[in-house]
Amino acid sequence: MDRGKLLTESRNPNSMNIDSASSLEIAKIINEEDKLVPLAIEKELENIAKAIDLVVETFENGGRLFYVGAGTSGRLGVLDASECPPTFGVERELVQGIIAGGEKALTRSIEGAEDFEKDGAKAILGKNVSAKDTIFGIAAGSTTPYVLGALKKGKKLGCKTIFFSCNSEAKNLVSVDVYILPQVGPEVVTGSTRMKAGTATKLVLNSVTTGTMIKIGKVYENLMVDLKPLNVKLVDRSNRILRQALSIEADEAKNLIATSKGNLKIAILIKKLGIGFTEAKELLSDYRGNVRVILQQKL
């Protein structure tokens, strides 16, 4: 493939003279280009919604989500996956990031690791993927063999598949269930997809996992009621969440956290329904942990 024809590899006319610009002018040029990213994502919202629904179905059927990428794309996948357990209280195995080159590639460039489809296929086989799982390929430029190999192997295994790229040519390279293809345009520094394409990647991955977690009941109103209070900041946030959700004072919130053994969902149900720990726990089990649905049924 002539990669020079890809949108992400083309030259940006707005930054042709950036090497002679002042520091403030450079910052302004970058900022103006960055403003285009959410507008490009806006055009992909229906596909993002499809991806959310697909991952919800995956989780409800006992499956997992695997991000697969190389370089910046791989690092952003690993980042999003690693943030799900502390934010939403899910098991670490539920959302996983796979990066070409392995853990070493998280902190240093291992560019050659992305060049072979067979290695991407091997990587997901090493995770014992099945038809229950979803493979989410991330390749800003669309052509990364490692990512394409993982998606093709996933498709053969019956997995659900999603492909994120900032090039529309992605549709010609591999068949998947959902394409998310925001056209953010040429980068300020030609081909540096760590910039606008990287920003778009971060925004889309956050939207997919956050939207999925909301749909499976990990959020009540707009509060992260399944977080694990494992450090001082999160203990403080847990107290604040209960105060906001229940309109109570800090001391009562502290007592509720103790009564509910640190489970904020149980604490909310105890307070709002006037029930005990055991009954609240059983309700959560019966309603798949969805506090809003429980309260709609019981209040």
Q: Give the whole-angstrom CA distance, residue 194 versus residue 71.
A: 9
Q: State the DSSP H helix or E strand holding residue 161, giving kind and residue range, or none if neither.
A: strand 160-164
Contact present, 69 and 80 (Cβ < 8 Å): no
Pairing assessment for the beta strands 95-99 and 65-69 based on DSSP bridges:
parallel
- Three-state secondary structure call for residue 18: helix
Contact present, 157 and 10 (Cβ < 8 Å): no
**Tokens 């280009």 correspond to what residue?**
33
25 included as an active-site residue: no
Instruction: Return the closest-CA partner of residue 298 out of 217, 194, 287.
Output: 287
Q: Give the whole-angstrom CA distance, residue 120 versus residue 112.
A: 13
Which neighbouring-strand residues pair with 67? 97, 136
114 included as an active-site residue: yes
61, amino acid identity? N
Among 33, 114, 117, 187, the one annotated catalytic = 114
For 87, the token pair is 């934010």
Work out the angle at residue 234's Cα, subtended by the Cα atoms of residues 230 and 237, and round it to the nearest 5 degrees.
Answer: 150
Cα→Cα distances 16→12, 140, 163, 194, Å: 7, 22, 31, 18
Among 83, 169, 252, 279, the one annotated catalytic = 83
Q: Which residues are catalytic?
A: 83, 114
